[in-house]
């Protein structure tokens, strides 16, 4: 197939990253390891290594492993609410990565500058229009606009609203789009709307190169979109960054944990900061149980609503080739329709 139309719409994101296709593989803790990241980058996309709360020495080793597996650009995702976040920031001065993505919360202006001073290009997630504006003021060189349809830690605004509030208005930096995306046809329309590229997570989570447990992948393949639900917050004293995952026993246990922590706050048995740490520790442990151990009952099955569009395990190469072919086909279809 001749990819003349898609090449035109790939240009801004392609040139920004220096890659073939502006298709980002979302960083997924315990899933986005060197093998998966390298597979995405080697096939023309941008692989993203998940920083999570990985011990610094291990994270440095993973960066080295990724570099040994690919000579193409890749990114590292830094979780601002992770207990080891500050240590990860320090590591950036040593490893000198081409791209760093801040996620999980709002990074400080000084943190963004610290990473930029290492020579890295900084991207920041935005789940609301106000966060998007602040990240640009703080020095972000690109945004990843993420709707609540996404998996993992998410905001509360749908992608359709964010497209109108942010994508249609922001011109000063490239805007990449994430949340509920699984098909090339959808990617084509987002590119036409002005997106510099797209990010997919859930579809890459079940890629052949993903190290996720077979039971984890099987749950994804059998799930419907409505099975991926967002966690509630019960008390403003215990702010919870919503997490979207497949509902199971672990999801219900998290609700009970919040109620227990709130009770301890009421009784003065626990400080707010300690309670917040317990919340994050729950998700770190629960996610590992699901991805690594295959505990799909009590572990965290973080998935976006696009899980309803995922029905098979495919190699990364096939996933990217299908997306690009579908993008071109949809652009050609639209062009033909407009010329009728």
Residues 98-155: pLDDT tens digits? 999 999 889 999 999 999 999 999 999 999 999 999 999 999 999 999 999 999 989 9
Rounded Cα–Cα distance for residues 86 and 272 (Å): 20
For residue 41, pLDDT beyond 80 = yes
pLDDT tens digit sequence for 150-205: 999 899 999 999 999 999 999 999 999 999 999 999 999 999 999 999 999 999 99
Mean pLDDT of 273-292: 86
pLDDT on residue 311: 95
- The strand pair at 243-246 and 152-153 is best described as antiparallel
- Scanning 105-158, the segments in alpha helix (DSSP H) are 109-116, 129-137
Domains annotated on the chain, with CATH: 4-212+307-338 (3.20.20.70), 217-291 (no CATH)
- Cβ-contact 165, 129 below 8 angstroms: yes
Helix then strand count (H, E) for the chain reads: 13, 11
The rounded percent of the chain whose pLDDT value lies above 70 is: 100
pLDDT tens digit sequence for 74-98: 999 999 988 899 999 999 999 999 9
pLDDT on residue 1: 62
292: left (phi over 0), alpha (psi -120 to 50) or beta: alpha
Q: How far is CA 51 from CA 17, 133, 239, 295, 321, in A?
A: 20, 25, 22, 22, 27
Q: Tell me the residue length of the chain.
A: 340
pLDDT on residue 232: 82
pLDDT tens digit sequence for 192-250: 999 999 999 999 999 999 999 999 999 999 999 999 999 888 888 887 778 899 999 98
Residue 135: φ, ψ to 5°: -65, -35
Residue 24: φ, ψ to 5°: -100, 135
pLDDT on residue 246: 96
Q: Which of 113, 156, 151, 152 is nearest to 131 (CA)?
A: 156
pTM, whole model, 2 decimals?
A: 0.94
pLDDT on residue 87: 97
pLDDT tens digit sequence for 8-33: 999 999 999 999 999 999 999 999 99
- Cβ-contact 72, 42 below 8 angstroms: yes
pLDDT on residue 275: 85
E strands in 20-146: 23-25, 47-50, 74-79, 99-103, 121-126, 142-146
């Amino acid at each position: 197939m001749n990819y003349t139309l898609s090449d035109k719409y790939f240009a801004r994101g392609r040139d920004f990253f220096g890659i073939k296709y502006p298709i980002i593989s979302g960083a997924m803790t315990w899933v986005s390891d060197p093998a998966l990241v390298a597979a995405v980058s080697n096939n023309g996309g941008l692989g993203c290594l998940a920083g999570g709360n990985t011990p610094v020495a291990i994270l440095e080793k993973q960066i080295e492993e990724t570099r040994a597996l690919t000579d193409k650009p890749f990114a590292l995702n830094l979780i601002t609410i992770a207990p080891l976040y500050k240590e990860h920031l320090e590591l950036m001065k040593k490893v000198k990565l081409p791209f760093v993505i801040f996620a999980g919360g709002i990074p400080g202006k000084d943190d963004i500058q610290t990473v930029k001073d290492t020579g890295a290009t900084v991207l920041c997630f935005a789940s609301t229009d106000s966060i998007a504006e602040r990240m640009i003021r703080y020095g972000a060189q690109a945004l990843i606009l993420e709707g609540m349809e996404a998996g993992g830690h998410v905001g509360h605004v749908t992608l359709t609203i964010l497209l109108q509030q942010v994508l249609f208005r922001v011109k000063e930096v490239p805007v990449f789009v994430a949340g509920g995306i699984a098909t090339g046809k959808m990617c084509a329309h987002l590119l036409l709307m002005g997106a510099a590229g797209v990010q997919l997570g859930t579809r890459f989570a079940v890629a052949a190169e993903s190290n996720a447990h077979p039971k984890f992948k099987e749950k994804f393949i059998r799930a419907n979109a409505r099975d991926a639900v967002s966690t509630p917050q019960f008390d403003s004293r215990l702010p919870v960054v919503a997490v979207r995952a497949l509902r199971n026993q672990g999801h219900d246990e998290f609700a009970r944990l919040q109620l227990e922590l709130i009770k301890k706050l009421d009784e003065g048995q626990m400080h707010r900061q300690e309670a917040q740490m317990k919340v994050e520790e729950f998700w770190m442990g629960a996610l590992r149980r699901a991805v690594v151990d295959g505990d799909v009952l009590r572990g965290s099955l973080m998935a976006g609503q696009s899980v309803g569009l995922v029905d098979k395990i495919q190699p990364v190469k096939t996933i990217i080739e299908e997306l690009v072919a579908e993008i071109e086909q949809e652009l050609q279809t639209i062009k033909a329709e407009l010329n009728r």
